Structure 1
Amino acid sequence: MPTTPSTTLYWFRNDLRLQDQPALLQAAAHATAHGQALLLVYLHDAEQDATTAWGFRRMGPHRRRFVADTLQDLHTSLQTLGQTLVLLHGTAGTALADCARHVQATTVFCEDIAAPEEQAQVQALRDAGLTVHTVWQSSLLEPADLPFDVTDLPQVFTTFRQRIESAGLRPRSPLPAPTQLPAPPHVELYTLPGWAGNPEKLLQAPEGQNAHESSNFPYTLPHCRGGEASALAHLQSYLTPPWPDRYKQTRNALQGAHTSSHWSPWLATGAVSARTIWVALHTYEQQHGANDGTYWLWFELLWRDYFRFLHLQHGRQLYAASGLSQLPRPSHWPKDFQRWCDGETGEPIVDAGMRELVATGFTSNRMRQIVASYLVHDLACDWRAGAAWFESQLVDFDVCSNQGNWLYISGRGTDPRQGRRFNPTKQAQDHDPQGRYQKVWL
C-alpha cells in the first residue's frame, strides 16, 4: 500500500526571503491543514557547475559567494521560527524527487519561473509523480491584474507602460513574513538524498573572498552582503534624501555608491520582492514628494516586469538564435569573443567595463549596454555568447532581464528600432569625460 504523506516540501528557488512570500505561506497552510511536517529545501542544480557551449563555467565565483551568503542569512532567519534550510545538490528530477520520497512528501510548493530550464525542472518533478503547486511571485504586478491578457502583451515597452499607467494599475500589498511555521520532519539531514551540508560546500563558494576595493557593489562587505537583512537595510538607506530624487540624473553614471539604487542583486536572488521595494518607494514619495527620480525607479521596475511577462508570452522562443526576429543566425568569432571577455579589444571604455565585470561581478547598466553593443555590432559576435558570459560573471544575474536586455540590444527582441548600437567613443566622452573610470580599470 502507498505510504500516507507525512511532509509538505517547499522548494526555495529565486525567492530567498521570508517577507512577501505567498508560495511559502501556501505551503505552510497546506502542511498545517493536513497535519504534516514542512521540509524547506534549496537545490543547487548540477548544471550550474557545468561548462557552457562557449567554453567557460556557467556560474562564476562572484555569484556563488553572494548566493552562499544569501542562503546563510535565510537559514538564520528560519532558525528563529524553529525551522531549518536543507541544501541539496543534484537535479530536480533526481535529488529533489528522491528527497521528497525519503520524507514521505507527495506535494511540492515553489515559485513559478517562466524560463525554459526552470519550467523543465518543475516538469521533471511532476514526471517523478509529485504534485507541484507553482506560485507566480517575482514581479511587481500580477499577470492576472494586467489590463490585457498576458498573451496579448504589447510588443513595445512604451505601449505596455502607457497602458499600465492609464489603467491606474498599482501592485498588490506585500505579505508580512510568517511568525510561525510547521516543524520540519524528524529525519537526520545527512541521510537525505543530495544533502550538501553548508552553503559554501554546496556552491563551492571561494573562502576568504573579499570585495574589490574599487567595486561599485562590494558584495562581501556587510552593507552589500547577500540576504534579506542586508536587502531591507539597503532599501531604507537608499530611500533617504537626496538619492532617489537624483536617480534619473545619475542612473547612467559609471561609478558611485548612490548613483543607482543597486537593488538588482537582492532582487535577483529574491532576498527582497519588487512589491516590498515599491511600498517603500511609495512611502518615500508620500513623505518627501514624487519627482522624476522616484518615477524613474518605478519605470525601471516596470521594465523588469516586462521582461518577465515576455517570458510568459514567448517562452523558449526568446532563447532561439533569431529571438523574436526574422534575422539570420548571428555570426560568431571565438577569438574576438575571448578578447572581449578578457577586456583586450583595444577599445578603452569597453575594456575597462569588461575588466570591472570580471574583477567585481558587477558593472553599471550603462556600461552593460556599451559592452553588449560592442560585442554584437562591432565585433559581430553571437549575442547568446555575451548573455552566457554575463550569466557567468554577474552577481545580479537574472534570467529574464538578462535575456530580455541582450535581445533588445541585438535587435532580436521587441525594440522597435531593431537594436541599439552605441558609439564607444561618444559614450566615453559623455559618461567618462575625464577618463577617471577608465583609469581605475585600465
Structure 2
Amino acid sequence: MKTANMPEITLYLFSNDLRLSDNSALQAAIDDAHENNNALLCLYALEPHLFNRTGNQSPAMGAARWQFLMASVSDLKNNLNNQQMDLTVSTLGWVDAIEAAADEFTIKSIHVSATAGFYERQAIETISQKYPVKTHDNQSLYVLSELPMTLNELPKHFTPFRKRVEKTDLPAVSATPQRWPDSQRSCIDRWSELSAHASVEGSQFKGGETAGLAHLNQYMASDLPSSYKKVRNELMGWSHSTKFSPWLAWGCVSPRQIMQQLRQYEAERGANESTYWIFFELLWREFFHWNGLKQGSRLFHSKGSDVATSKTPKACEKFIDWSKGHTGVPLIDACMRQLNQSGYMSNRGRQIAASYLINDAGVDWRLGAAYFEQQLIDYDVASNWGNWQYIAGVGADPRGGRHFNIEKQQKTHDPKGHFVKRWAEYDVTTQSVRPSYVLS
C-alpha cells in the first residue's frame, strides 16, 4: 500500500547483464541516483512462466541453465555486497516485482539494459507506461546510435552487415563503479529460499562475473586464440573453442571486454586468421542481436514450415527420440546426450543436431529451438532462434537452409569415434526442472 513520504529511489533492473564491470546501464543508474540524491535499489526478477509447462512442452528453464543462472546471481550479490550494496531477488517477474517495490518506495526512475527478447521488451513497455524507464545498449558490441545503419536498414544477411560494421570503432570498456549511492533493499526479496540452488558441482562452467573474467583472462593468457579457427569445429575438448558463450549469454562478461583483451593479445602476440575469427563470431552474435530486435515476435514464426505435418504423432515421436538421444544415429545421439547431461554442446554439434531434426526427421524447427532454450546454459534468445532459422532456411540465410550429411560429418569431425564412444552409454529420460518455490 502506497503511503506518504515513502523513500525515493532509483531502480536498476538487472537482466542478462549480471556484472558490475563494463556495465554502462548500471553506471547510468548510479549517476542518476547521485544526481537526484536517491538511494539505489538493485533488483533481479525471475519470470515465473519460465518454470511452468505450456501445453505439452516442458518448462523453458532446464536444470543446467537454472544452476548456472543461480550461481551467476549469487556471484553478483556477493560482488554488490563487497561495494556495500544489496541485491533484491524476486520471483514475481519484472512487471509485478516493480509494482511490489512501488508499494514500498517512490520510484523516480528505472534503468535497464536493452534486450532483443520480445517478452522482455513487452514488459519494459508495460513498465514504461507508469514509470520513467531508460534503456541502455549494454549487451551488444555496439550502441545502436553508432551503427552505420538504422535498425530498419539492417541487412537481411550477415555478410553485408559484417562488411559495414567490422571497421566501426567499439565503445570503450568501463571499470567497476567506484562511487556508489546508498543501497535499498525490498521486502519482496526471496534470495534466502533460492540460495540453495546457487552452487554448481561437477561442471566446468561456473556462473558469475568472477568466474567469467577468470576464464577470459586464462584463455587470453594462453596461445589458444592463435589457433582458434583451426579447432573451433571440434566436437569435444575444453580448449577447442573459447567457451565464452555461457558468460556472454547471462552478461557476466561483455563482448566489449572480450574484444578489449583480444586486441591486446593481437598487439602483443600478433594477429592472424584465428584471432580475427573470434571477432568474426562475435559479429555473428551481434548480427543476431540486432536482427532479433528488428524481427520481434517474427523470430518465433514458422515462415512456411509445414506445421501441420510437424505436429503428427509420428513427428512428435521423432522429436522425443531426438531430444533424448534415441534416434539410432550415433552422432546425433551423442550430441543430444552431451547436451542433456552438461547443458552444453559445441557449435558444430548444434548445427548437425538441428539439421537432422529439420531435414531428416521432418520436425518443425521451433520445437528444436525451444528444447535448446530449455537445456543450454548459454541460451541467448536472438542467437538461438536466429541460428535455428538459419539452419531451417527461414531467416538470415540466402541459400535456403543447411542440410548436413551426417555420415560425412561423422567422418570429418569424429573419424575415430571418440566423441560417439564418450556418450554411447549415457542415457536420460527427463531433463526438466521445476523448482518448488515457483510452484508454491
Do the aligned partners of 1:5 and 1:106 also contact (CA within 8 Å) in 2?
A: no
SS of residue in 2 equivalent to 1:134: strand
Q: 1:392 aligns with which of 356, 374, 396?
A: 374
Question: CA–CA distance in 1 between the matches of 2:237 and 2:282?
Answer: 21
- Tell me the residue number matched to 1:214: none
SS of residue in 2 equivalent to 1:62: helix
Q: 1:96 aligns with which of 95, 98, 117?
A: 98
Give the counterpart letter for 1:164 in structure 2.
Answer: V
Do the aligned partners of 2:209 and 2:252 also contact (CA within 8 Å) in 1?
A: yes
Shift of 1:15: 0.2
Shift of 1:55: 2.1
- Tell me the residue number matched to 2:430: none
Do the aligned partners of 2:6 and 2:104 also contact (CA within 8 Å) in 1?
A: no
- Tell me the residue number matched to 1:108: 110
TM-score, normalised with respect to structure 1: 0.91
Question: CA–CA distance in 2 between the matches of 1:33 and 1:91?
Answer: 29
SS of residue in 2 equivalent to 1:102: coil
Q: 2:251 aligns with which of 262, 265, 270?
A: 270
Give the counterpart letter for 1:395 in structure 2.
Answer: I
Residue 197 of structure 2 is aligned to residue 205 of structure 1: yes
Question: CA–CA distance in 1 between the matches of 2:138 and 2:55?
Answer: 31
Do the aligned partners of 2:47 and 2:91 also contact (CA within 8 Å) in 1?
A: yes
Describe the superposition over 1:285-306 as per-residue Cα deviations: whole angstroms up to 9, x where unpaired.
0000000110000000000000
SS of residue in 1 equivalent to 2:363: coil
Which range is displaced more, 329-338 or 230-239? 329-338
Describe the superposition over 1:10-36 as per-residue Cα deviations: whole angstroms up to 9, x where unpaired.
110000001111111111111111111
- Tell me the residue number matched to 2:437: none
Shift of 1:4: 6.5
Shift of 1:240: 2.9
Question: CA–CA distance in 2 between the matches of 1:83 and 1:22?
Answer: 17
Do the aligned partners of 1:151 and 1:313 also contact (CA within 8 Å) in 2?
A: yes
Question: CA–CA distance in 2 between the matches of 1:347 and 1:138?
Answer: 38
Which range is displaced more, 309-318 or 95-104? 95-104
Shift of 1:377: 0.7
Structure 2: gaps of 5 or more residues? 425-440
- Tell me the residue number matched to 2:138: 137
Shift of 1:155: 1.1
* Aligned positions, number: 418
Give the counterpart letter for 1:196 in structure 2.
Answer: R
Q: Equivalences for 1:242-281 in 2 at 5 Å?
A: 242-281=223-262
TM-score, normalised with respect to structure 2: 0.91
Shift of 1:311: 1.9
Do the aligned partners of 2:305 and 2:364 also contact (CA within 8 Å) in 1?
A: no
Residue 289 of structure 2 is aligned to residue 308 of structure 1: yes
Which range is displaced more, 431-440 or 85-94? 85-94
Give the counterpart letter for 1:125 in structure 2.
Answer: I
Describe the superposition over 1:223-277 as per-residue Cα deviations: whole angstroms up to 9, x where unpaired.
x311111111111111134201110000000111110000000001100100011
Q: 1:117 to 1:204 in 2, by over 3 A?
A: farther
SS of residue in 1 equivalent to 2:20: coil
Q: Equivalences for 1:181-330 in 2 at 5 Å?
A: 181-185=180-184, 189=186, 192-193=187-188, 195-198=189-192, 201-202=193-194, 205=197, 210-211=201-202, 218-219=203-204, 224-322=205-303, 329=307
Q: 1:206 to 1:88 in 2, by over 3 A?
A: closer
Shift of 1:348: 0.6
Question: CA–CA distance in 2 between the matches of 1:103 and 1:11?
Answer: 15
Describe the superposition over 1:120-164 as per-residue Cα deviations: whole angstroms up to 9, x where unpaired.
11123234x222111111111222222222211111111111122
Q: 1:387 to 1:232 in 2, by over 3 A?
A: same
SS of residue in 2 equivalent to 1:151: coil
Do the aligned partners of 1:61 and 1:205 also contact (CA within 8 Å) in 2?
A: no
Give the counterpart letter for 2:236 in structure 1.
Answer: Q
Which range is displaced more, 234-243 or 66-75? 234-243
Shift of 1:202: 3.3
Residue 392 of structure 2 is aligned to residue 410 of structure 1: yes
Q: 1:98 to 1:422 in 2, by over 3 A?
A: same
Do the aligned partners of 1:92 and 1:124 also contact (CA within 8 Å) in 2?
A: no
Give the counterpart letter for 1:8 in structure 2.
Answer: T
Shift of 1:67: 0.9
Question: CA–CA distance in 2 between the matches of 1:179 and 1:106?
Answer: 23
CA RMSD of aligned residues (A): 1.8
Residue 309 of structure 2 is aligned to residue 331 of structure 1: yes
Give the counterpart letter for 2:80 in structure 1.
Answer: L
Question: CA–CA distance in 2 between the matches of 1:344 and 1:228?
Answer: 36
Q: 1:265 to 1:312 in 2, by over 3 A?
A: same
Give the counterpart letter for 2:170 in structure 1.
Answer: P
Do the aligned partners of 1:8 and 1:30 also contact (CA within 8 Å) in 2?
A: yes
Which range is displaced more, 345-354 or 169-178? 169-178
Question: CA–CA distance in 1 between the matches of 2:73 and 2:105?
Answer: 22
